[in-house]
A and B are shown apart, each in its own frame.
Chain A
Amino acid sequence: MHSIRPRLINENGLRVDGRRPDELRPIKMEVGVLEKSDGSAYVEFGGTKVFAAVFGPREAHPKHLALPDRAILNCRYHMTSFSVEERKPLGMTRREIELSKVIREALETVAFLEEFPRASIDVYIEVIQADGGTRTAGLTAASLALADASIPMADLIAAVAVGKVDGQLVLDLCDLEDKYGEADMPVAMAPRFNSVVLLQLNGKFSPSEFKKGLTLAQKGIAEIYRLQQETLKKKFSASRPMEV
């Protein structure tokens, strides 16, 4: 495969896919795409393509998992075998198990689970193509699917990764930048209250790079949040209060 490390920033300061360092990839969002779930969404960040579906609130089963004072949130982040360059073996990898956990914890930060004691809310994320930023796209989609399912929550979650490639801070890493870059930091926020709900770092940042990176992430998140709001408003734009 690519044994030689490609040049990630060219002489004009542009990235491998022609973007400026602070530019997001083309983003596509849609809600209500899967009929059998209670809420669903489809999100694309460039070549990264993700479905999310929500079931519930419904009676938790097996019953002993139920909590007396709130709903349990189940989350599964999963990738199809053909979503990546080398075919992924079937079953959950350690990476998928970890990402399921950090995504669940991000969603639990905003969802008002105490409104549904003893119930469960199930969130399923399926990455059908991975081109960098699958956890952030997955979380962005899951938050749309939760909103579509009308699960009460304090805010939508918007997420994006920032990183360092060829010494340059960049927004919304693609696969090549993730693979050959020096750092990758996925960030998710509930923008209304400026709360960080997911934060991971893989690589090396100086403290000042970290600060600048976080600011860059916030800039991307503001744009993603705006697109989420637009997508939901558009879906229900023809709606009026029920005449009863």
Chain B
Amino acid sequence: MSLSSKKDLTAKIMRDKIYSLLLQDKRIDGRDPKSLRPVTIQTNLITKADGSALVAMGGTKILTGIKVEIGSPFPDRPDEGIFTVNAELLPLASTSFEPGPPDERGVELARVVDRSLREGGALDLKKLCLIEGEKVYAIFIDIYVLDYDGNYFDPALISALAALATTKIPRYEVVDGEIRKTDEFSTLEFAALPFTTMIGIIGEKFLVDPQIDEEKALDVSLIIGTDEKGNVISIQKNSPGPIPVNLLDTLLDVAIEKTDEIRKKFLQEVPAKLASERGGGVESRI
């Protein structure tokens, strides 16, 4: 069951201000409607995790850790590895997050990241299979929001991908139908690099990557994921407001442009390997 949520109390004059600024292509923090906040990426800070990344997008900070285990494949996909995404909106991050099991916002965040990775084809899951129908790699992607200053969607996916890019996967030998762990490690190779852009809408105007005051003032928002080829790979409409249908074409173009910008930044900072023609998966570094 999902209930109408108690929206964070917002002063109407702030919503009006943010809207009137947008009419002049301006924003309260001095950005223009189409500019993102600065992104910083720090990797490998959790050595107990198999991969990790701390990403800041403006004042929003997200920590993602990866654990690689051995599991069983899904019966309908016996030759594919599996991955699971979890997200927690930690009470440290904001007065609007409560301690306790993930509420619907946390679950939504996890699923939007999951969908973007899965439908974006970031990983070639076939390469994560050890013994068909029996043993596959199971990758746990756990996302924690540490500081919340608006838009946790985009930095969450960036941190998940940065953590995956630096993940060390223990190599196994298959001997007589049994797997045996070796001392060697491999790294993941991406089959595609999907990113998302959150676009907020007020009236008929829009802005990208809302900070917290803007996010509270939005009528509605749209999180659009695209891959490096310009395909749209995930969409999530967020919060109960209408989107003018004639705006959607523009928003799609904006999302493609902005995710390209994020991807460029990501590739500058993270040693990610992107398989351009062949499918990605586990590749030996040794």
Report A119-137 residues with CB < 8 Å from chain B CB.
122, 124, 126, 128-131
B90 and A82 contact, CB distance less than 8 A: no
Residue of A nearest to B96 (CB): A36
In the complex with contacts A40-B92, A83-B46, A76-B99 CB distance below 8 A: yes
What residues on A are CB-neighbors of B52 within 8 Å? 82
Tell me whether A35 and B49 are in contact in the complex, defined as CB-CB below 8 angstroms, given that A80-B144, A81-B142, A87-B140 are known contacts.
Answer: no
A150 to B92, alpha carbons, bound, how many Å? Answer: 17
Can you list 16 pairs linking A and B with CB atoms under 8 Å apart? A34-B147, A36-B59, A36-B149, A52-B92, A53-B92, A58-B95, A76-B91, A80-B144, A81-B140, A83-B46, A83-B48, A87-B67, A87-B142, A124-B99, A128-B46, A128-B65
Does the CB pair A81–B86 fall under 8 Å? yes
Q: A residues 23-77 with Cβ under 8 Å of B?
A: 34-37, 40, 47, 49, 51-53, 55, 58, 76
Contact A129 B46, beta carbon cutoff 8 Å = yes
State whether A36 touches B93 (Cβ < 8 A): yes
Given contacts A49-B46, A81-B140, is CB(A90)–CB(B147) below 8 Å? no
Q: Which residue of B lies closest to A34 (CB)?
A: B147
Interface: A196 (CB within 8 A): no
User: Cβ of A85 < 8 Å from any Cβ of B?
Assistant: yes
CB distance from A84 to the nearest CB of B (A): 6
Interface residues of B (CB under 8 A from A): 45-49, 52, 59, 61, 63, 65-67, 69, 86, 88, 90-95, 99, 101-102, 140, 142, 144, 146-149
Please, what's the 1-or-0 string for A78-97, where 1 marks a CB less than 8 Å from any CB in chain B? Answer: 10111111010011000000
Asked whether, in the complex, the Cβ of B46 is within 8 Å of the Cβ of A36, the reply is no
Report A-chain residues with C-beta under 8 Å of the C-beta of B88.
Answer: 90
Contact with A34, one of B49, B99, B146 (Cβ below 8 angstroms): B146
In the bound complex, CA of A34 to CA of B63 (Å): 13
Q: Is the CB of B67 within 8 A of A81?
A: yes
**Which residue of the partner chain B has the closest CB to A56?**
B95
Given A34-B147, A36-B59, verify A82-B48 contact (CB < 8 Å): yes
A66 to B108, CA, bound (A): 32
**B101: chain A residues within 8 A (beta carbon):** 90-91
B104 CB, min distance to chain A CBs, angstroms: 15
Q: Residues of B contacting A126 with CB < 8 Å?
A: 90, 92, 144, 146
Closest-CB distance, A174 to chain B (whole angstroms) = 12
B48 with A129: CB separation less than 8 A? yes
**Docked pose: A47 CA to B260 CA in angstroms:** 36
Tell me whether A34 and B48 are in contact in the complex, defined as CB-CB below 8 angstroms, given that A80-B63, A82-B142, A87-B140 are known contacts. Answer: no
Contacts A81-B67, A87-B69 given; indicate if A131 touches B48 (C-beta within 8 A): yes
Q: Known contacts A49-B46, A82-B49; is A34 also within 8 Å of B93 by CB?
A: yes
Alpha-carbon gap, A55 to B66, bound state (A): 29
Q: Looking at A82, A90, A128, which has the most chain B CB atoms within 10 Å of its CB?
A: A82
Q: B140 contacts which chain A residues (CB < 8 A)?
A: 81-82, 87
Interface set, chain A 156-174, CB cutoff 8 A to B? none
| Chain A residue contacts of B61, Cβ below 8 A | 34
| Residues of B with C-beta under 8 A to A80 | 63, 65, 142, 144
Q: Which residues of B contact A47 (CB under 8 A)?
A: 47-48
CA distance A204 to B99 in the complex (A): 36
Q: Is there an interface contact between A85 and B48, defined as CB atoms closer than 8 Å?
A: yes
